[in-house]
């Protein structure tokens, strides 16, 4: 896998900018909570803390993933990025549950909240998160680590909207329940996105086929190469986001033509599916009868 760049690494600069924005918003919102006593603002700050932690975790995973492969880890450390996405999802779930518990406690006796100050702090947070969202949008479809950070910033931006709505309700009506209700909304918004991230990360860890890639299409492309008669033991998975790998047994018409066949299937996988690391076992007709029970 020497020298191959992961999707997360290609967007490392975006993550650095997003981290700086998240840290700035975190400090600003904690100060805002001290001024306003708004649980919604504190919940949003807690979410920003996970944003910052998630982005930092993704950056650390990407850096660690660049370490050279060795005899013990022949594929390198690319999968650390996926573990970071799983940890990110778990942290988000814990934060959401804590926010929901505190909102439940406050709803029985909601405290006074400074509406105008809450509105001001939440608006600045919203604008900052919007900038962070734009920075991460380009990489979130390629890298699970970047996607985790993107989803956190998106959730925090929606959380800021909830805080703004609560502040406007408090300003307009004095209804104190708006603040804990907004906090609960923020907590509930986190959970579905967390599940989506965790599901995709676990799918990579379970070596599922990359999203959007049909294994039968791969088989058809291999069979279209001159000299390939059959394909079995075909496996396609991802080491990390945007880095698919493949292994397959190919039954060939002539072992003497193995070189051109390998050139053909390697080129076809790169062009059709952007699979840059492939391992093929070439077999003569009838060899399958001598193998252990094979996968499809």
Please give the average per-residue pLDDT across 92-112, as a whole number. 82
Reported confidence tier of residue 184, pLDDT bands at 50, 70, 90: confident
4-50 confidence digits (pLDDT tens): 555 556 667 777 877 888 888 888 888 888 888 887 777 777 767 76
Cα gap 147→17, rounded to integer Å: 15
Q: Which distant-in-sequence residues (6+ apart) come within 8 Å of 152 by Cβ?
A: 47, 50, 51, 54, 55, 88, 92
Gap between the Cα atoms of 270 and 276, Å rounded: 6
Two tokens, residue 120: 């001001």
Among residues 16, 24, 3, 5, the alpha carbon closest in space to that of 58 is found at: 16
What pLDDT is attached to residue 227?
93
217, pLDDT greater than 50: yes
d(CA 199, CA 182): 27
Packing angle, helices 258-273 and 215-223, rounded to 10: 140
Q: Which residues have a Cβ under 8 Å from the Cβ of 153 and sit 6 or more positions away?
A: 18, 22, 51, 129, 132, 133, 136
- CA-CA distance, 4 to 136, in Å (whole number)? 22
Phi first, then psi: give them for residue 254, nearest 5 degrees. Answer: -150, 125
pLDDT above 50 (res 85): yes
The C-alpha atoms of residue 32 and residue 116 are separated, in whole angstroms, by 11
**Both tokens assigned to 263:** 């050139």
Q: Say if pTM beats, i.e. exceeds, 0.95.
A: no
Domains of the chain: 7-205 (1.20.1510.10), 215-290 (3.30.70.1350)
**Band (67; pLDDT cuts 50, 70, 90):** low
Does the structure show a pLDDT above 50 at 3?
no
Judge whether 175 and 115 are in contact, CB under 8 Å. no
Tokens representing 211 are 């999203």
The mean pLDDT of the chain is 81
3-state secondary structure labels for all residues of the chain = CCCCCCHHHHCHHHHHHHHHHHHHHHHHHHHHHHHHCCHHHHHHHHHHHHHHHHHHHHHHHHHHHCCCCCCCCCCCCCCHHHHHHHHHHHHHHHHHHHHHHHHHHHHCCCCCCCHHHHHHHHHHHHHHHHHHHHHHHCCCCCCHHHHHHHHHHHHHHHHHHHHHHHHHHHHHHCCCCHHHHHHHHHHHHHHHHHHHHHHHHHHHHCCCCCCCCCHHHHHHHHHCCCCEEEEEEEEEEEEECCEEEEEEEEEECCHHHHHHHHHHHHHHHHHHHCCCEEEEEEECCCHHHHCCCCCC
Distance CA 68, CA 276 (A): 17
pLDDT single digits (tens) 250-279 = 999 998 888 999 999 999 999 999 887 899
């Amino acid at each position: 896998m020497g020298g191959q760049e992961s999707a997360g690494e290609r967007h490392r600069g975006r993550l650095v900018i997003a981290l700086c924005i998240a840290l700035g918003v975190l400090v600003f919102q904690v100060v805002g909570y001290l001024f306003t006593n708004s649980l919604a603002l504190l919940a949003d700050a807690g979410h920003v803390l996970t944003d910052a932690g998630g982005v930092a975790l993704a950056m650390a995973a990407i850096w660690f993933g660049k370490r050279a492969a060795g005899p013990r880890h022949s594929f390198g450390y690319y999968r650390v990025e996926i573990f970071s996405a799983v940890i990110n999802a778990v942290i988000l779930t814990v934060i959401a549950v804590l926010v929901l518990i505190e909102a439940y406690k406050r709803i029985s006796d909601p405290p006074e909240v400074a509406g105008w100050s809450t509105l001001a702090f939440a608006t600045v947070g919203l604008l900052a998160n919007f900038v962070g969202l734009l920075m991460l949008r380009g990489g979130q479809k390629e890298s699970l680590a970047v996607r985790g950070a993107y989803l956190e910033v998106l959730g925090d931006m929606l959380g800021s909207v909830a805080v703004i709505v609560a502040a406007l309700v408090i300003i307009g009506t004095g209804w104190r329940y708006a603040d804990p209700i907004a906090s609960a909304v923020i907590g509930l918004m986190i959970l579905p996105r967390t599940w989506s991230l965790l599901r995709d990360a676990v799918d990579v860890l379970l070596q599922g086929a990359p999203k959007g890639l049909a294994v039968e299409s791969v088989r058809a492309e291999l069979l279209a190469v001159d000299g390939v008669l059959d394909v079995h033991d075909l496996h396609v998975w991802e080491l990390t986001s945007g880095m698919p790998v493949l292994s397959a047994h190919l039954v060939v018409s002539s072992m003497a033509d193995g070189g051109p066949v390998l050139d053909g299937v390697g080129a076809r996988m790169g062009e059709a599916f952007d699979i840059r690391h492939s391992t093929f076992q070439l077999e003569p007709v009838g060899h399958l009868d001598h193998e252990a029970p094979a996968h499809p």
